[in-house]
Amino acid sequence: MDKTRLKGKNCLITGAARGMGAAVAEDYAAQGANVCVADLNVEGCEEVAARINSKDGGRAIAANLNVTDRAQMRAAVAATVEAFGSLNVMVNNAGINKPLMFMDITEENWQQIMDVNALGTLIGMQEAARQMIDQGKENGPYKIINVGSILSRQAFDDVVPYSCSKHAVLAMINGGAKALVDHNITVNGYGPGVVRTELWEQLDKDLVNIGKFDKQGESMDKLAENMILMKRYSYPEDVIGTASFLAAKDSDYMTGQLLMIDGGMIMQ
Ligand SMILES: NC(=O)c1ccc[n+]([C@@H]2O[C@H](COP(=O)([O-])OP(=O)(O)OC[C@H]3O[C@@H](n4cnc5c(N)ncnc54)[C@H](O)[C@@H]3O)[C@@H](O)[C@H]2O)c1
């Protein structure tokens, strides 16, 4: 690993107390980036930041953040700038899911998922971009990275609101790239497939409760067998290469793109 590949990049990563967000934060720091680890779960953030700060590489701070709260998003951006001097990379990773069969979807289910996954991404993009624009385009390029999903490009009948929210993430990658290009800000994203994280542990239980699978622990193996070309599900480590590519100089001539990291589930 090149420990200086992301040196000089000051990054804010939402939903980074655990799962893929934590893995990306630790990998960015190992490659020299400074990271603000932001999440609803501030204790988790502090643990991730402490792990980073106990090693060589970039430095970390923790921030308490609900991505649906614009004032908190502004405060997390400000804390990043205060600690490290600027904001160069924003990763909008926080996300939730709660499966329900199509006819059982409620307004509450729709609203909760759309609020965090779609509105939270919009607020993260806007508040990061505001700071990046203030820093001046001559100091770019700046990078906004949104976490989509295989469900940014198709929908399953038991997770329609989640699929809508991740289609919205793709729309914001496309539209945001066009809106921000003149400020030397690129907008790209990656779309994981089936990743073994706590989100999926909960999803697995919920899928049994709504009758989609017979027993717990079955969903990931069945999806791997039936829908993933490589016949295995993934782990947070599987996304970090693409996440760091999108933060690094290597992707400077890319914008408006969503890259799938799914073992060959979606081909478009
Ligand atoms: N696990 C998968 O199979 C999978 C597949 C495709 C996409 N994704 C997406 O990847 C991203 C990370 O997922 P993960 O599997 O690591 O999930 P995870 O549940 O392990 O971690 C998500 C983190 O987001 C935080 N969070 C939730 N709501 C928040 C809010 N309102 N404000 C701030 N933080 C909040 C949680 O506290 C948690 O720490 C999400 O956007 C998810 O939709 C996951």
Peptide bond between residue 141 and the one before it cis (omega within 30 degrees of 0): yes
Spatial separation of the C-alpha atoms in residues 88 and 20, rounded to whole Å? 20
**How many Cβ atoms sit within 10 Å of the Cβ of residue 12?**
31
The response to whether residue 76 sits with its C-beta less than 6 Å from ligand 1 reads no
If you count them, how many residues does the chain have?
268
Residue 102 tokens read as: 């199509």
Atom of ligand 1 nearest to the CA of 150: 6
Spatial separation of the C-alpha atoms in residues 8 and 51, rounded to whole Å? 20
**How many Cβ atoms sit within 10 Å of the Cβ of residue 182?**
9
Q: State the DSSP string of 181-247.
A: GGGTEEEEEEEE-SB-SHHHHHHHHHHHHTTSSSSTT-HHHHHHHHH-TTSS-B-THHHHHHHHHHH
Residue 197's pLDDT is: 95
The response to whether residue 155 sits with its C-beta less than 6 Å from ligand 1 reads no
Q: Given 3.40.30.10, 3.30.930.10, 3.40.50.720, 3.40.50.150, which CATH number is that of 10-261?
A: 3.40.50.720
pLDDT tens digits in sequence order for the chain, 268 residues long: 899 999 999 999 999 999 999 999 999 999 999 999 999 999 999 999 999 999 999 999 999 999 999 999 999 999 999 999 999 999 999 999 999 999 999 999 999 999 999 999 999 999 999 999 999 999 999 999 999 999 999 999 999 999 999 999 999 999 999 999 999 999 999 999 999 999 999 999 999 999 999 999 999 999 999 999 999 999 999 999 999 999 999 999 999 999 999 999 999 7
The response to whether residue 92 sits with its C-beta less than 6 Å from ligand 1 reads no
Instruction: Kindly report the protein residue whose alpha carbon is nearest to atom 19 of ligand 1.
Output: 199
Give the number of C-alpha atoms closer than 13 A to the C-alpha of residue 68, restricted to the C-beta side.
11
The response to whether residue 17 sits with its C-beta less than 6 Å from ligand 1 reads yes
The response to whether residue 41 sits with its C-beta less than 6 Å from ligand 1 reads yes
How far does the centroid of ligand 1 lie from the alpha carbon of residue 123, in Å?
Answer: 16
**Which of 190, 195, 234 has most ligand 1 atoms within 8 Å of CB, for mutation?**
195
In degrees, rounded to 5, the angle at the alpha carbon of residue 217 between the alpha carbons of residues 211 and 223 is: 75
